[in-house]
Structure 1
């Protein structure tokens, strides 16, 4: 079935570009009002103006750095003050880095864990009671195909995404008696600014997907009568995830190390 989100509001993090902007576009196309969160105010406002004009929805912008401790709690408080209720939460914000852990800046590692793990956890906890009570929307957390592998040269990133996958599947099981759809989405490499932040294309393993392909796969999974707890986007990524599960961990680790040029 094709779902409509008219009469609901979707909160999307990392919405200034890439996957976040595409989630905003496809949800607005189906009638959802939006709360767009990212650090770059100008980009958020440009996106919000365009989506309001093209789809006749309300798009609020809340610039915030979710890599800062306490930002998720402040975001919930700000929405409460505005009287905005949220029916769909898309935890998309995140980043990675490439290289041996010993060479990583400790502050950058801490920021990655804060954004990829703590912000996802805190935002999910902050909004989950309302999402469950309403039941018209969805909880979507962006994991990664890297969640299915140990990832030398991207040790922290892969581990954070493994957390997102496990966390979301568990929350989905807890929510099984409700009408809320809960989904972890694990894409492989996507044509976004992600690799500009990483600083190398060595981490781009497999065929590149477009943001539209990933978000469309998300939406179709949510539209199925029985929502799976998680999806891996792309046939090659699904095969790789299955192979990693079936292979001895030492073998899978060695393959990942060679592929990621660790």
Structure 2
């Protein structure tokens, strides 16, 4: 909840600390800037010039929530939880999830740590954060832009999670404590490969990991990388959901995708393949 993470939050206008009012209905900084808490439990700390048009839509969030609830990406969540435990964050410290979506991965990490750590779910989609605010009792949900200064204090986070989401290496370095770690999940070129060819989806660049390393290199050091690969046997509705919950939702004709899916045998057999990279 927001009261669990308020001590780490900063005002997007002046950078000063924020605190909840007595009623818990708004955040205010010493300079007088105030931010209402939505009835769904999240708060928007968007600054000027935010890229609000890039946020997941209601339909994309619903597709993701259904797909994740079915357990299809549980191997990814389990790998993140193990990596978080190996990082040994301080009890009661902050885990920030940049591009948190519905809070699925952050909730799994918090459960796995079991040390009363608290979580900040950061995303630009208010539709996603309506769900993230309810995903775990120790998650506070904050609307912000990954490409702008994050509304977190310097050195406030023990861990930063980043799963299939945008990232700014300089800002991640700023909010991590010394020795803190970034756990980054990105798709490998084999991820959903069977659907890429059959449905004409976006493919993953073979040089993706090299480019990520180069962009993060000035601020963070790669300390480990693990491949997580697993088979998926998807009913057609779930295959449609995995297309509709990510970037392909913006770049494909959904009617054409549905028609192509109808031609595939059910369940649709697909390969899940991601890389979990750990930076310090």
Range into which the TM-score falls when normalised by the shorter chain = 0.3 to 0.5
More helix, by proportion: 1
TM-score by length of 1: 0.45
Higher alpha-carbon Rg: 2
